[in-house]
Amino acid sequence: MTNDLKEAVRVLKKGGVVVFPTDTVWGIGALASSKKGTTKLYKIKKREKNKPTAILVSDIKMASNYGVMDEAAKKLAIKHWPGALTLVVKAGNKKVGLRAPKHKLVLELIKELDEGVMAASANFAGERAPKTRKAIDKRLISMVDIIVKGEAGGEEASTVIDVSVSPWKLLREGPVEVANSEW
């Protein structure tokens, strides 16, 4: 593991916020279990408190720690993870978005933490998701604890499908196309 990644793990465990490349766009995240970190994440992004944020996981097993991975969700995850598909599933009386990114560095980070990272695109709410490091707003960069070196995949933000409802609902189009036969 690189020193950069070791430092990101340390920062996240202490409730910090990290900017990092993903398989799609540049992301910003905090340890999912850290109230301090997730509060700071929402504040930095200027995101409404009631607007959900996805949790990046390493695999289906880890995803099951955060939400109900029923047969439909598992089937989609098996086919499209790791990748740019976020699945919105039930989590108690709420919902949560879960995604296993196809980015070696992010997966290594999650595996080292042994828990999910609450993450969103590294931009202020309502602004365009940055595909390159240079596209990240300098004001946002000044508010985070560390920026992990690397390259993002340069795709659009992930496809988001709510599989907690029947029929499923496409919430955001992205790079992953889910065939009608999968619905």
Q: Which domain holds residue 146?
A: 3-65+91-155
Phi and psi at residue 102, in whole multiples of 5°? -95, 65
Give the pLDDT confidence score for residue 178 in this predicted structure: 85
- Residue 115 in any domain: the answer is yes
User: Which residue type, as a one-letter code, is found at position 52?
Assistant: P
Please tell me the predicted confidence (pLDDT) of residue 51.
Answer: 81
Judge residue 104's burial from the number of C-beta atoms within 10 Å of its C-beta, 0-12 exposed, 13-18 middle, 19 or more buried: exposed
Query: For residue 135, is it left (φ>0), alpha (ψ between -120 and 50) or beta?
Result: alpha
Q: Are 98 and 64 in contact (CB under 8 A)?
A: no
CA dihedral (114, 21, 67, 89) in degrees, to 10, reads: -170
Q: Does 164 fall in a domain?
A: no
pLDDT at 20: 97
The answer to whether residue 172 is domain-embedded is: no
Q: Is residue 83 one of the residues assigned to a domain?
A: no
pLDDT at 110: 97
Residue 84 placed within a domain: no
> Using CA atoms, how far apart are residues 171 and 163, in angstroms rounded to an integer?
10
For the chain, how many structural domains are there in total?
Answer: 1
Torsions phi, psi for 80 (to 5 deg)? -115, -5
In this prediction, residue 180 carries a pLDDT of 62
Mean pLDDT by 10 residues, the chain (183 residues): 90 98 97 97 91 93 97 95 97 95 96 97 94 96 96 92 94 87 60
What pLDDT was estimated at residue 183? Answer: 56
Whole-angstrom distance between the N-terminal and C-terminal Cα of the chain?
A: 39
Q: What is residue 129's predicted lDDT score, i.e. its pLDDT? A: 94
Q: Is residue 169 part of a domain?
A: no
Residue 113 pLDDT = 97
Residue 136: give its domain's CATH number. Answer: 3.90.870.10
CA distance 121 to 26: 6
Inside any domain, residue 174: no
